[in-house]
Amino acid sequence: MILRILHWLSRCILAGIFLYTGYIKIRSPLQFAAVLSGYQLFPDSLILPMADYFPWIEIVLGVLLLIGWKIRYVAVAACALLASFLTVLTITYFRGIEANCGCFSFEDRISLLTIGRDTLILLPALFLALSRLRGSGPGPARPEIA
């Protein structure tokens, strides 16, 4: 029962985060492009396409988590996305570049706190990716840790 609640909460929390963060980036693609440029990791030719398409990936992941479609595969994709966020933030921070995170707002500076927060966001994605759903006869499937 506890695992079912954790499974449901993990899905809802991640879905909410992805839907919100994707939405704010879609509303302000040029600000998001400026954030991506501030990382000083990507070629200029990729900044605008990334700013245009990347938020839609977050929105799609959020919707898929919300509706419960192939949760384990979506969670693995979410883990990959969040791990890449963490990598970019960590590299930028340790290079000493003063840049904005761009995760929840465009004024959030990259710090150990933002890196820690994003690491915590990775935990429910890992839980979903590592849990197995198994049927228990009629009724909804139950999560089970692999």
Q: Model confidence over 3-18: pLDDT tens digits?
A: 999 999 999 999 999 9
Report if residue 143 sits inside a domain: no
Would residue 122 count as lying in a domain? yes
Instruction: Give the pTM.
Output: 0.86
Nearest to 63 by CA among 23, 119, 114, 118: 23
Residue numbers of the chain with a pLDDT score lower than 70: 133-146
Say what the pLDDT of residue 91 is: 96
pLDDT tens digits along 15-42: 999 999 999 999 999 999 999 999 999 9
The residue written with tokens 């384990």 in the block is 72
Q: Does a structural domain hold residue 146?
A: no
- Neighbour-count burial for 56-90, b at 16+ CB within 10 Å, e otherwise: eebbebbebbeeeeebeebbbbbbebbeebbebbe
Residue found by looking up tokens 């700013």 in the block: 51
pLDDT at 138 (0 to 100): 38
By residue range, what is the domain housing residue 73?
2-136
Helix/strand/coil for 102: coil
58 found inside a domain:
yes
**Structural domain tally of the chain?**
1
User: What pLDDT is attached to residue 90?
Assistant: 96
Q: Is 144 inside a domain boundary?
A: no
In-domain check, residue 48? yes
